[in-house]
Amino acid sequence: MPEEPERVLTVREIVVEPGQQPERIDRWLTAKIAGATRNKVQEAIIAEAVTVNGGSTKANYKVKPGDLVRLELMKPPPIELIPEDIPLDILYEDGDVLIVNKPVGMVTHPGFGNRSGTLVNAVLHHVGLELLEVSEGVTADGDDDGESEELESDETILAALPFDYNAVRPGIVHRLDKDTSGVMVVAKTMVAKTKLGEQFADRTIRREYRAIAWGAFNEEEGEIEGNIARDPRDRKKFTVSKRDGKYALTRYQVVEHYELATLLSLRLATGRTHQIRVHASHIGHPLIGDTTYGGDSPHGVASQSTARARNLLKLISRQALHARTLGFRHPKTGEYLEFTAEMPEDMERLVEALRIQN
């Protein structure tokens, strides 16, 4: 386990906007800071790491237009891009793109909680830092197959501080959750990153996922629609919201029916953070093994089958979700390319167990 880097003092100042209605500062800051929690903000206020107009404050102070709110925080140093000799399952490679089958447990790009061992670290070792151009490029807004733009460590309040994510994710135009396996494309040049980013933004990329969800589906195919927003009770999670968030649409088709679960093929019409996992949970069919969205306990299972269902959970230690197919136009030639990686061993093992139980 690498040592935690020594932290440095970082300061951020925020001026309350004109027209701001009186609001408790702990609530105001929680809403202002991506990834923050109210408890963390309150702790910072108690520690006098938050001041208003140069003086200490309390959590119940109500901000007003023109207030100068200052945060003094101990922040980890900038993340360094370090090539690491990590094996890659390469499906295709040329001078412009690299197609990999990302394994379970690998984070896409470095962040405060994951400074090494990521896909970016592995790719840098494979192609060389000089080939993978490090500078800003087009990244589709909201195209989060998995990893959130915000931080997932305990240092949630630090998400408010300046941080250049493009500098730690060269070539990355989309993401998968740490525990979601499957096909990813990495751009090896800035031109390729821009062209691929445009395709993701235009929703012309073909993406098909395989997932194993709890319970039986009555329809062979269907759509799940609903805005996805950050969960107000737990800002590390997302939820379907009628008023907030961004529009999201997931199309599904049943591949196989089992007594206790269903194997699905899913297509993303949009690409929001945790989209498939949130939508599946929203309709009462969370993905097996998904501890964040309720899949770590049986759903839609008869009481007499609960014991068998719990045994299934022992076969997989993560959400049963795999990015099976990715199709796109080559950023240089314009040729349509499509790549497929079949489900990894843990999901295949789960499917076999479900078939036996039928």
Identify the pLDDT of residue 157: 32
pTM: 0.74
Torsion sign (Cα): 152, 154, 155, 160:
positive
Identify the pLDDT of residue 319: 97
> What does residue 152 show for φ and ψ, rounded to 5 degrees?
-120, 10
| Ranges 23-32, 72-81, 208-217, 226-235: which has the least confidence | 72-81
pLDDT tens per residue across span 220-231: 999 999 999 988
CATH superfamily membership of 8-75? RNA-binding S4 domain (3.10.290.10)
How far is residue 4's CA from residue 274's CA, in Å, rounded to a whole number?
A: 28
Better-scored residue on pLDDT, 168 or 287: 287
Angle between helices 25-32 and 38-46 (to 10 degrees): 120
Report DSSP state, residue 202. T
Identify the pLDDT of residue 130: 52
Identify the pLDDT of residue 235: 75
Residue 133 confidence (pLDDT) above 70: no
Identify the pLDDT of residue 186: 92
CA-based radius of gyration for the chain: 22
If DSSP codes are grouped into helix, strand and coil, which group holds residue 30? helix
Q: Are strands 181-187 and 321-329 parallel, antiparallel or unpaired?
A: parallel
Residue 129 confidence (pLDDT) above 70: no
Identify the pLDDT of residue 150: 31
pLDDT tens per residue across span 144-200: 444 333 323 333 333 333 334 344 467 888 889 999 999 999 998 888 999 999 999
How far is residue 46's CA from residue 109's CA, in Å, rounded to a whole number?
A: 33
Residue 279 confidence (pLDDT) above 50: yes
Reported CATH class of domain 210-321+348-357? alpha beta
Identify the pLDDT of residue 199: 93
Interval 258-276 mean pLDDT: 94
- Mean pLDDT of the residues in the chain: 84
Closest CA to 274 of 177, 156, 197, 200: 177
From the candidates 143, 177, 179, 290, which is the catalytic residue? 177
Closest CA to 235 of 35, 63, 20: 35
Strand-pairing partners, residue 335, are none
Residue 137 confidence (pLDDT) above 80: no
Better-scored residue on pLDDT, 41 or 2: 41
pLDDT tens per residue across span 85-117: 999 999 999 999 999 999 999 988 777 667 788
Annotation marks residue 234 as catalytic: no
Closest CA to 247 of 232, 231, 266, 269: 269
Give the range with max mean pLDDT: 71-80, 257-266, 349-358: 257-266
How far is residue 13's CA from residue 202's CA, in Å, rounded to a whole number?
A: 36
Please list the alpha-helical segments (H only) found in 83-148. Answer: 119-127
Domain boundaries along the sequence of the chain: 8-75, 210-321+348-357
Amino acid in position 195: K
Identify the pLDDT of residue 132: 56
If DSSP codes are grouped into helix, strand and coil, which group holds residue 290? coil
Residue 22 confidence (pLDDT) above 60: yes
How far is residue 17's CA from residue 30's CA, in Å, rounded to a whole number?
A: 16
| Ranges 143-147, 231-235, 238-242, 311-315: which has the least confidence | 143-147
